Amino acid sequence: MGEPAVDGATVEVVRSHLVSAAEEMRAALVRTAFNPVIYEVYDFGISVYDRRLRLVAESTGLSRFLGANDYSLRKGVEYVGRENLHRGDVVLLNYPYWNAAHTYDATMFAPVVLPDSEELIGFLCIRAHWMDLGAKDPGYVLDSTDMHQEGIIFPGTKVYSRGEPVPEIHELIRFNSRMPELVLGDLNAQIAALRTGERRVTELYRDYGPAVVDAVVDRVIDVAAQRARDAVAALPQGSWTAEDWLDDDGVSDDPIRMRVTVTVADGEFTVDFAGSSAAVPGPVNLPLGATIATCRVAFKGVTTPGEQTNAGHFAPLRVRAEPGTLFHARYPAATFTQWTGTVALELILKALAQGMPDRLAASSGGDVPGFMMVGRHPDTGDLFAVSNNDPVGWGGTPRHDGIGPANHLCQTQARNTPVEVLESRTGMFFERLEIRTDSGGAGRFRGGCGLRRDIRFVTPGEFLTVIKKTRSAPWALAGGEQPEPNQVVVFPGTDREHRVSTRRTAVVVGDRVTLLTAGGGGHGDPGSRDPEAVRRDVAEGYVSARAARDIYGVIA
């Protein structure tokens, strides 16, 4: 017998139920997580898969996590073996070359098995950032030179077996973490979210039956694949190459070359990183799965951005990166500082902009300016490690100004850590947080602004910054102007003042740091900007009266 016939209403109800299951998993995770990077920042990815490991639904989170889930789930199931997966199992995976991320992005997946049989009907997957898992340094590893400095490794290890916790593994995690309560709390939050998803997916199969649900999934994925192919066929055809540079690898000060060629031809969209640097000693190397996920973000943005994502949407995408290079890390290459993927996303768009300038914006601030403080809390004496990713300006487009400050486009629904959380849970006090006038690149449509953040330390500790684009400016388009790059100034106004990018800096009470995030690139000749728009920018503080006069030729 063939697949059952399903009408459009059934397709939409089943599809929506699967998306709802992912969103309910998200709600469970946010409500039960211990770590603010999960419940405040949304540093996670949640995905629902069919029995063939095809993505069928996802929840909002970090876009590069969602793409990475596909890769890590396949590797995890291959390692454990389908025959060894049972109802109630939960598997932990953080081996970076399979996990498509660094060791602290803990992926947990579970099979979904029908309650009255042993029929495996799908998989659920959640990855979320844990704060400490036995790496050589607390908080974040900035200068590792091999994987074994980056934490304890789980290649695909059951933390729950047939519905029961595996106490030996839980204790292994506890004794290898400097913050075991947080880490085990987040592990259990992911378990709760997976159990929520199991209930919702099994309800769907109970109500409609496996044959109907499977037929709907096939149809939804087939339709998405066709829409993606149609979108690729409608794009300008050709091949375009772009280059950019990372500041350094965290071990030396040498800049690192990135090169990409994007080809749209013969129904395929190919992203090839040939010509990029070989793998480097420091932890900026990307596992292949992370590289694929970065390419997926760019591809989805120019093909089917308005549709709920499933496996079909990536059918025309091809990604190439030679093993042993910056974009295809192999054991034992260090991979902890994953900012390479952020800059690479802009690099892919820079290449595409050559062939389709009417479809793309100029560069955003070009990076995710991340920072963290590590220390002992004065009230409890407990170790803390709390982070934040600051917003940047987005690039001007062919039709409107860039927004900003806003989270980098690679972060989708992620948020910043609230000042209230940072001040109450660390030794940082925020003296200033404001939009930076004139930080966006000028243009007919200007780039969005970056921000300034001034921090004073009220307890001793370490201040960590993770930024990989402070030496080269974000790119502009069509005659627009480039903004200044991101900057971090430590100990401003003292004889110790200097700039850093990715660095671990010891601080004491009274020390200060200033962070200046980049605006977006401008689009089009600034001389053609509407004078009324310039005057409005001056009134709102985005552009100074001097810049209005000198760059735009407008008296405001």
pLDDT of residue 464: 97
Q: What is the pLDDT of residue 409?
A: 83
Rounded to whole angstroms, the Cα distance separating 213 from 138 reads 46
CA atoms within 13 A on the CB side of 444: 12
- C-alpha 252/C-alpha 131 separation (Å) is 26
Distance CA 518, CA 461 (A): 27
From residue 306, alpha-carbon distances to 228, 300, 313, 463 in Å are: 12, 9, 11, 39
Answer left, alpha or beta for residue 52, where phi above 0 means left and psi between -120 and 50 means alpha: alpha
Specify which residues 192 forms β-bridges with: none
Provide DSSP, 20-83: HHHHHHHHHHHHH-S-HHHHTT--EEEEEEETTS-EEEE-SS-HHHHHHHHHHHHHHHHHH-GG
Count Cα atoms within 13 angstroms, Cβ side, for 94: 25
What are the phi and psi torsion angles at 34 (to 5°)?
-95, -20
Residue 447 near residue 394 (C-beta atoms within 8 A)? yes
What is the distance between the alpha carbons of residues 416 and 165, in angstroms, rounded to a whole number? Answer: 33
What single letter denotes the amino acid at residue 116? Answer: D
For residue 118, the model assigns a pLDDT of: 83
Which residue, among 451, 475, 246, has the nearest Cα to 338 in the 3D structure?
246
Residue with structure tokens 């109802």?
87
Q: Which residue has the tokens 């735009």?
A: 552
Instruction: Name the residue ranges covered by the structural domains of the chain.
Output: 8-226, 361-555
What is the rounded CA–CA span in Å between residue 77 and residue 111? 9
pTM metric for this prediction: 0.95
**Strand, coil or helix: what is 350?**
helix
Please, which residues have CB within 8 angstroms of residue 528's CB and are 6 or more apart in sequence? 444
| The pLDDT value given to residue 411 | 77
The reply to whether omega before 492 is within 30° of 0 (cis) is no
For the chain, helix, strand, coil in percent to 5 are 35, 25, 45
- CA separation, residue 364 to residues 42, 202, 324, 437, 515 (Å): 21, 42, 29, 16, 17
Backbone angles phi, psi at 260, to 5 degrees: -140, 145
Q: How far is CA 69 from CA 7, 75, 100, in A?
A: 31, 10, 8
pLDDT tens for the chain, 556 residues long, are 567 878 989 999 999 999 999 999 999 999 999 999 999 999 999 999 999 999 999 998 888 887 789 999 999 999 999 999 999 999 999 999 999 999 999 999 999 999 888 899 999 999 999 999 999 999 999 999 999 999 999 999 999 999 999 999 999 999 999 999 999 999 999 999 999 999 999 999 999 999 999 999 999 999 999 999 999 999 999 999 999 999 999 999 999 999 999 999 999 999 999 999 999 999 999 999 999 999 999 999 999 999 999 999 999 999 999 999 999 999 999 999 999 999 999 999 999 999 998 899 999 998 899 999 999 999 999 999 999 999 999 999 999 999 989 988 887 678 899 999 999 999 999 999 999 999 999 999 999 999 999 999 999 999 999 999 999 999 999 999 999 999 999 999 999 999 999 999 999 999 999 999 999 999 999 999 999 999 999 999 999 999 999 999 999 8
Q: Give residue 267's pLDDT.
A: 96
